[in-house]
Amino acid sequence: MNGDYRTALTNVLQALPGPPARTVFVSTTGVFDGWRGGQPITESDLPTGETGRARILLDAETVAVDLLDAIILRPVGIYGPGRDFLIRQTLTATSIDGGRMTNRIHEADLARALEALLTSAAPPPVLHAVDEEPTRLRAVVDHIAARLGVTAPPTADDSAPSGNTFDGSVLLDLLGHLDYPDYRVGYDELVADAHPSA
């Protein structure tokens, strides 16, 4: 399976009239699945491929850098219009993994990050796209439920503290500010747009 990315990117490169002047490879913070190092994770931390999924993703990044000298962009959980999984989960789930640490990035800020990486004179080689407030899933779901005026689903009995946090300092330096710096700003807008009576 590791060869899939090398074959795919090699084919893409061969189909182009010449090497791109700049390539941004959109990966994911999933390269840190199973991470046992320090928190919060920064762009200076090197993922070690602790799980099968992390190894596949890390291989993809390595191939992109080898073949295209790519900049690596690692978004966390992307949300925004049309990406309202947590709102639907708040309304329908029987329980949630409330102890899990979550990170997110609004799709508008992610788009800004992509543009900045493509146009900046000196872009960072690796960028974590994450907002300014990682937090437990419990807090996010409780906030959404309060805005919707519904009872939040309870935390599952087997839920325990888990998950990684990511430092967003490099993204802030690149963009200057985030339009959606935390989950409250983003989900308040989503709830107002999708459920105007809430």
Q: Could you tell me the pTM of the whole model?
A: 0.92
At residue 6, the pLDDT reads 83
Tell me the per-residue pLDDT of 55-101, one tens digit each, with 9 for 90 and over.
999 999 999 999 999 999 999 999 999 999 999 999 999 999 999 99
Is 128 exposed, middle or buried, given 0-12, 13-18 or 19+ CB atoms closer than 10 A?
buried
Residue 150 token pair: 């519904």
Q: What's the rounded mean pLDDT across residues 117-143?
A: 97
pLDDT computed for residue 72 by the predictor = 98
pLDDT class for 198, splitting at 50, 70, 90? low
**pLDDT tens digit sequence for 166-194:** 999 999 999 999 999 999 999 999 999 87
CA–CA separation, 130 and 143 (whole Å): 19
DSSP assignments along the chain, one per residue: -THHHHHHHHHHHHHSSS--S--EEE--GGGGTT--S-SSB-TTSPP---SHHHHHHHHHHHHHHHHH-PEEEEE-EEEBTTB-HHHHHHHH-S-B-TTBEE-EEEHHHHHHHHHHHHH-SS--SEEEE--S--EEHHHHHHHHHHHHTSPPPPBPTT--SB---B--HHHHHHHSS-SS-SHHHHHHHHHHHH-TT-
CB 104 within 8 A of CB 128: no
**145-to-63, 123, 191 alpha-carbon distances in Å:** 42, 39, 10
- Which candidate, 1, 25, 196, 187, places its Cα nearest to that of 106? 187
Q: pLDDT tens-digit profile of 80-92?
A: 999 999 999 999 9
Q: Tell me, what's the pLDDT at 159? A: 83
Domains delineated in the chain: 3-194 (3.40.50.720)
What is the tens place of the pLDDT at every residue in 4-33? 888 888 898 899 998 899 999 999 999 999
197 band by pLDDT with thresholds 50, 70 and 90 = low
Give the pLDDT score at 1: 42
User: How many percent of the chain have pLDDT more than 70?
Assistant: 96
Confidence grade of residue 146 (pLDDT, cut at 50, 70, 90): very high
